[in-house]
Amino acid sequence: MDTGLHPRPHRPADTPYQPATLTRWQHAAQRAQSAQQLGQWRMAMAYQHQALALSLQLLERTPPAGHEDDCIAAAVVSHLNVADLQAEAGALADAAEVLCRAHALLLSLMADARHGAALQQAAWRHSRETHAALLRHVQAHGAQPLITQTLSLAHVVHAAGGAGHH
């Protein structure tokens, strides 16, 4: 089975740069879902990686006011989808790494006041999803040091105040 776990991004030189938008992210995620439903795992993984890259680009710059939660949700969904495909392909360590990166991203956003309260609060809300995904992964596949380390870091961030919520 060709899983496409490590697709090579390709963008022809004559393709104009298009900034990341939620609409572009949504289209990539929908194409990934369609490819997965058709059993085209390599294509599904390539589109999921594209959606993930777009979601991270949305967070690299300040998300538009009022869309902080949407941008965080896009990043979380993309990470979880990539991890699911990797787990289905038997790449459990890769899946765990993606889940940990997702949770660590949210923790870093929560801990850094430069991101603004709306983005911090969105990260805090969505961190429950990534935390639950890490616990599900451990339950299904056993403990892994990286997951244990990430969950420990989460406790430190929450104890330090995170986004001001407990």
pLDDT at 14: 53
Which distant-in-sequence residues (6+ apart) come within 8 Å of 31 by Cβ?
43, 47
pLDDT higher than threshold 70 for residue 165: no
List, for residues 60-116, the tens digit of each pLDDT value: 988 888 999 999 999 999 999 999 999 999 999 999 999 999 999 999 999 988 889
pLDDT at 105: 97
pTM of the predicted model, to two decimals? 0.83
pLDDT higher than threshold 90 for residue 12: no
List, for residues 149-162, the tens digit of each pLDDT value: 999 887 666 666 55
Query: In order of start, what are the domains of the chain with their CATH numbers?
Result: 22-160 (1.25.40)
pLDDT higher than threshold 90 for residue 27: yes
Distance separating alpha carbons of residues 162 and 109, to the nearest angstrom: 9
For every residue of 45-56, which 3-state class applies, written as one string?
A: HHHHHHHHHHHH
pLDDT at 161: 59
Instruction: Report residue 104 as tokens.
Output: 């660590």
pLDDT at 63: 86
pLDDT at 158: 61
pLDDT higher than threshold 70 for residue 9: no
